[in-house]
Amino acid sequence: MTISKTSSGSRARTFLTRLEGPQTMGRGPAFWIAVTVAAAAAAAYPLIADAWTVGNAAYFLIWTFMAMGLSVIWGYAGVLSFGQTAFFGLAGYAYGVITLNLGAAYGLTILALVLAVVIGGLFALVIGYFMFYGRIQGVFIGIVTLSVTLVLETFMAQTAGPQWRIGEARLNGFNGMSGMPPLTLPWFGGDIVLYPGPSLYYLLLGLVVVSYLGLRIMLNSRFGNVLVAIRENPHRVAMLGYDVRLYQTLAFAIGGAFAALSGALYTAWGQYITPSSMGLTSAALPIVWVAVGGRRDITATLIGTIIVLAGFQMLTIYGSQYALIVMGGLLLVTVLVAPQGLVVGAMTLLGRIFRRGKS
């Protein structure tokens, strides 16, 4: 029993030490104090904001899962994918079909959420297997993933007839599905319905924190180190005896599962999903978020995604005709001026200033 407890404690310490490592920026008490303060401020936000604003903040949090998944695929594994919205849309439709057929009682929406993520992740696993074991490389991966996304969008847009239904769920073609129930938690005395508001916001915030910390642990583990090594020199990694295609496939599946989580949560948040969520514009936007933040660091990706989403929404409200132009210009500036990401550059500069201040 003593040996078992010692072994468990050792494993726990190993996981905690992986919160900091060579593959993620930020370490030491100052960084974790800043993270704690940011999380506490986010938790206190619903206390000072109205319900609509909180629901809008929940919308921002939903997209961070897709961005973090793309960071794993593109930033760490070195594979540029335009397929995130394909996994997003597939999971969104899966959540809609399951909930419209099973209903929201007894926590079935949570089951639908899990199943939708599994479906999206498995689809990404299959696509990744055929790509990487089929030795597709470089720009052709982007072409294949974009083709998969556009084929799914085109197919779903043509499902308008009454024959396109799965049980009680009609796919509705270009108009998309609607009327699916929001997330519902079974509870004593009545179910808790997580409408876009404080309850859903807190669930999403908790998921973001857990996902962020979990990804830091994974990326600083042996798996993450091998991914980065593959990104830098896949031939050398293969010579060392690692199955490069297996690691790339697993990274692609993990990124796809995170995109699927965004899709299922988005459908539960708005209670609708349309084929346009898998369109060309939708497929390109996550690339902008991750590039601007810094694709090779999960913290920069998270911060950059929220900032860019907030700016994009303001542009769509006050100058919608310029929103996509500004996003394209922002990506161009990032590539030319700060290819590692604007947030990474800012964090690096702050780190240097902090170290000079201490000295």
Question: Which residue bears the tokens 């700060």?
Answer: 338
Q: Kindly report the pTM of this predicted structure.
A: 0.91
The reply to whether 16 falls in a domain is no
Query: Are residues 124 and 253 in contact, defined by beta-carbon separation less than 8 angstroms?
Result: yes
Is the distance from CB of 165 to CB of 96 less than 8 angstroms? no
Instruction: Show Cβ contacts of residue 327 under 8 Å, excluding neighbours closer than 6 positions.
Output: 285, 288, 308, 312
Return the half-sphere exposure (C-beta side, CA atoms, 13 A cut-off) of residue 348: 11
Residue reference for tokens 């104090």: 33
pLDDT digits 0-9 by tens, 298-315: 999 999 999 998 888 888
Residue whose tokens read 């200033």: 353
| Rounded CA separation 305/288 (Å) | 9
Q: What residues in the chain have per-residue pLDDT under 50?
A: 1
Residue 11: count of CB within 10 angstroms of its CB = 10
CB 327 within 8 A of CB 314: no
Could you tell me if residue 140 is inside a domain? yes
- Whether 13 is in a domain gets the answer no
State residue 104's pLDDT score: 85
CB atoms within 10 A of CB 92: 30
pLDDT, position 106: 82
The pLDDT of residue 10 is 63
DSSP 8-state class, residue 74: I
CB of 268 closer than 8 Å to CB of 182 = yes
Give the pLDDT score at 325.
Answer: 82
The answer to the question of residue 9 being in a domain is: no
Q: What does the block give as tokens for 279?
A: 């369109």
In this prediction, residue 126 carries a pLDDT of 97
pLDDT at 13: 67
Number of separate domains in the chain: 1
Q: What residues make up the domain containing 346? A: 25-358
Position 1 scores a pLDDT of: 47
Please indicate, yes or no, if residue 45 is contained in any of the structural domains: yes
Render pLDDT for 318-351 as a digit per residue (tens, 0 to 9): 766 677 788 888 888 888 888 888 888 777 777 7
Does a structural domain hold residue 111?
yes
Residues 342/294, Cβ–Cβ less than 8 Å: yes
**The dihedral sign for the CA sequence 51, 56, 59, 60:** negative
| Contact status, residue 95 vs residue 116, Cβ threshold 8 Å | yes
- What pLDDT does residue 268 have? 93
Confidence at residue 314, expressed as pLDDT on a 0 to 100 scale: 81
| pLDDT for res 157 | 92
The pair of structure tokens assigned to 151 is 């084929």
Phi, psi of 179, rounded to the nearest 5 degrees: 85, 5
Which residues, 6+ apart, have CB-to-CB distance to 160 below 8 Å? 171, 172, 173, 174, 175
